[in-house]
Amino acid sequence: MPPARTALPPGAAPWGEAAQEPQQVYDRIELPPIKPDVTRVRLFGGRCTCCGERALAVASAGLEPGSPFGKSVEALVIYLHYAHAIGAQAIGLERLRGVLGEIFGLSISEGALCNILARASAPLTAAAEAIAVQVKAAEVVACDETSVRVIKKTQWEWVFVTAIAVLHIIRPSRGADVVRSLFGDIRPRVWISDSLGSQRGHAGLWQMCLAHLLRDTQYAIDCGDEDFSMALKWLLLRAIAIGRRRETLRDTTLAQYRADLDRRLDRALALPRRGEVAERLRRRIARDREHLFVFVTDRAVPATNNVSERALRPSVIFRKVTNGFRSEWGAQTYAAFRSVVSTAKANQRSVLDSLRSALAAPLANQTVALPG
């Protein structure tokens, strides 16, 4: 027979509070319906009873007559259009209009979207010019470029990366004159780039990107060279590994490592080569050997130019999705947008907040060019 149960008094719980503890803890997340916050502005006025002049009230700051869409809406439109290529494809702005209507409850015409993008050109360009000042004042600059299509012609998007600022510009040329026109007589302390000829001679020191050099070294190995190219590959990997440990090493230790790398490089250069590819690589290393290991003793310099590659990756994706720009206006606005966004990310700031700040900044003699 089962044991007899003790009857509970009326209202008593079968479990005491002290005997209970959480058995399951979980969340369920939902998004509330998003609705625009609309502020209706009424400006009162009238005629003066003394002089007969008409007067109209002045709107509060941020509520001036003009476009009904505030800076938060403008920042969202620009962010979705340029960062996520919504409305930048062949279908035009219809997709962007649909996203704003379905998700955010914003009823906005394609003409209004064009006007928002047009008005953003001037403030974004002004923000990019301020970023350019920061870039030119930096001691260490990493640089790279990638192709971009503008009005069915190939141009080049350049990126200049520093510790606190990132500048994107689009120019028709891939030559050194682009850098000289931007920096003028200013020469940073260290320049980081690949071995393209137009990237040389812009700073006191030059750090060659070891990632690009490793790729070229592997190609020489694949072409049949096993002595020199293999030794160079392991030497470059050793140097990169030392660079990753710099924070735990003393300056004197890094200087010793630098001297050891130079000695190892001497021995590698003396090894036999097989094939023209390895011979060309050997001549190139012998010519530029002083630019290989700058980063070892300079803690502010990375061993590779990967930071520039990462800064250009969104632009490469944007190019593949949109196949380029149909106007110079759009290309320059996009470059300014990327400068603001990349700088915000470099400083761990909100992208949307940075866009709102750039759009809300006062401009002197602002001129807006409408898209063609």
Task: Note the pLDDT of residue 367.
Answer: 39
**Looking at residues 87-113, what average pLDDT do you find?**
84
- Return the domain boundaries, the chain: 67-204+305-363, 210-303
Query: Which residue from 125, 130, 133 is spatially nearest to 184, judged by alpha carbons?
Result: 133
pLDDT digits (tens, 9 = 90+) for 167-226: 999 999 999 999 999 999 999 999 999 999 999 999 999 999 999 999 999 999 999 988
pLDDT digits (tens, 9 = 90+) for 107-144: 998 889 989 988 899 999 999 999 999 999 999 999 99
pLDDT-based confidence at residue 370 (cuts at 50, 70, 90): very low
Task: Note the pLDDT of residue 93.
Answer: 83
Average pLDDT, the chain: 89
pLDDT digits (tens, 9 = 90+) for 310-344: 999 999 999 998 888 988 988 999 999 999 999 99
Q: Is the pLDDT of residue 368 over 60?
A: no
pLDDT digits (tens, 9 = 90+) for 40-59: 999 888 888 788 788 888 88
pLDDT digits (tens, 9 = 90+) for 11-50: 666 666 666 788 899 999 998 888 888 889 998 888 887 8
Task: Note the pLDDT of residue 5.
Answer: 59
pLDDT-based confidence at residue 369 (cuts at 50, 70, 90): very low
Task: Note the pLDDT of residue 62.
Answer: 79
Task: Note the pLDDT of residue 65.
Answer: 86
